[in-house]
């Protein structure tokens, strides 16, 4: 349905690209030029402009609309919040990781904790689409915000559309984990929170891949490499606006996040898979996803 311009009923109003939005979760509403609240039409995946129906052009800014969300004039790029992130604990894997032997009295305890955590957990993630505006030697500007990192600059050499995000285990699980006094249970609870945030990042990756078809993607995280230090959390949070706070994540003066089991970063499309770990010399890191590659930094990023 096309909203018609007030006072000029026979003419279709011109498109306003920044107000494009996709119907992602279900029905929503927008206000037309006459400020009347109107339902959005179409099914998930269809693209509707707030002022007229327009086809999607891939490099246009898109705003996602969640169920019941309302469009307001002048509303530009926003974060999308994914709240219904599935969380299933693989108990066998958890037992193996926690070195809990079959037949020991710990098995039952750990199983009960995992079950309880699954009921309570509400892991969440916020993300937005953002566009690289300019590039220099050691920094780039995304939506008017400067990010200083030579590695990012090289990784995004041919990239213009990126997906900054913050994922969290959620306040519910954070509170639950504080209820344990036993040291071993506290340790297990921390591991369960790690599983929740990792699962949320995987979920976001699948969601973005499915929805935007960016092809292979890699991610960078502030604080993972000296080249992109933790202080770069500040511009990342600026880029995400109120998104992190909406999912309960706060940035402290130290640039750490609360809940501590939260992860921030930027997903970007790439032909060559990038892993922070390939540039990271840290030994015995339990989270290592790829072996360290000596000389890679000098070869590719300097």
In the set 112, 287, 294, 296, which binds ligand SF4 (CB under 6 A)? 287
Which C-beta is closer to ligand SF4: that of 249 or that of 277? 277
Which bin fits 33, alpha (ψ -120 to 50), beta or left (φ > 0)? alpha
Shortest distance, CB of residue 275 to ligand SF4, whole angstroms? 7
Answer for which of 288, 293, 300, 301 binds ligand SF4 (CB under 6 A) is 288
Site for ligand SF4 in 262-281 (CB under 6 A): 276-277, 280
Q: Residue 219 is inside which H or E element, if any?
A: strand 217-220
Q: What is the 3-state secondary structure (H, E, C) of 39-96?
A: ECCCCCCCEECCCCCCCCCCCCCCEEECCCCECCCCCCCCCEEECCCCCCCCHHHHHH
> Residue 196 CB, nearest distance to ligand SF4 (Å)?
17
Q: Is 100 in the site for ligand SF4 (CB under 6 A)?
A: no
Is the Cβ of residue 203 or residue 219 nearer to ligand SF4 in the bound state? 219
CA dist 141 and 279 (Å) reads: 23
What's phi and psi for 125, nearest 5 deg? -150, 145
Q: Which stretch binds ligand SF4 (CB under 6 A): 33-41, 105-113, 115-123, 285-293?
A: 285-293
- Angle, in degrees to the nearest 10, between helices 105-120 and 183-212: 40
* Least separation in angstroms between CB 252 and ligand SF4: 20
Q: Which is nearer to ligand SF4, 222 or 269 (CB)?
A: 222
Spell out the residues 6+ positions from residue 188 whose beta carbon is closer than 8 angstroms to its own: 98, 110, 113
Contact set for ligand SF4, span 212-271 (CB under 6 A): 224
| Interface residue list for ligand SF4 (CB under 6 A) | 224, 276-277, 280, 282, 285, 287-288
């Amino acid at each position: 349905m096309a909203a018609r311009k007030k006072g000029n009923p026979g003419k279709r109003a011109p498109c306003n690209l920044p107000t494009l939005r996709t119907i992602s979760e279900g029905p929503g509403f927008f206000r037309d030029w006459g400020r009347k609240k109107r339902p959005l039409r179409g099914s998930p995946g269809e693209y509707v402009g707030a002022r007229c129906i327009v086809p999607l052009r891939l490099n246009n800014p898109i705003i996602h609309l969640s169920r019941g969300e309302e469009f307001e004039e002048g509303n530009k790029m926003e974060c999308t919040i994914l709240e219904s992130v599935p969380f299933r604990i693989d108990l066998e894997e958890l037992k193996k990781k926690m070195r809990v032997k079959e037949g020991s009295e710990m098995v039952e305890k750990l199983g009960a904790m995992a079950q309880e955590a699954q009921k309570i957990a509400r892991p969440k993630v916020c993300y937005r689409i953002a566009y690289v505006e300019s590039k220099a030697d050691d920094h780039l500007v995304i939506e008017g915000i400067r990010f200083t990192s030579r590695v990012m600059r090289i990784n995004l050499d041919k990239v213009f559309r990126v997906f900054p995000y913050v994922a969290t285990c959620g306040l519910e699980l954070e509170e639950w984990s504080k209820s344990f006094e036993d040291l071993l249970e506290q340790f297990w609870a921390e591991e369960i929170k790690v599983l929740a945030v990792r699962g949320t990042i995987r979920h976001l990756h699948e969601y973005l891949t499915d929805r935007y078809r960016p092809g292979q993607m890699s991610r960078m995280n502030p604080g993972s490499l000296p080249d992109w230090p933790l202080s770069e959390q500040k511009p990342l949070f600026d880029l995400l606006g109120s998104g992190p706070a909406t999912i309960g994540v706060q940035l402290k003066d130290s640039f750490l996040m609360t809940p501590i089991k939260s992860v921030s970063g930027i997903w970007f499309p790439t032909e060559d898979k990038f892993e922070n770990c390939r540039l990271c010399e840290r030994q015995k890191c339990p989270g290592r996803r790829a072996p360290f590659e000596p000389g890679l930094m000098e070869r590719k990023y300097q």
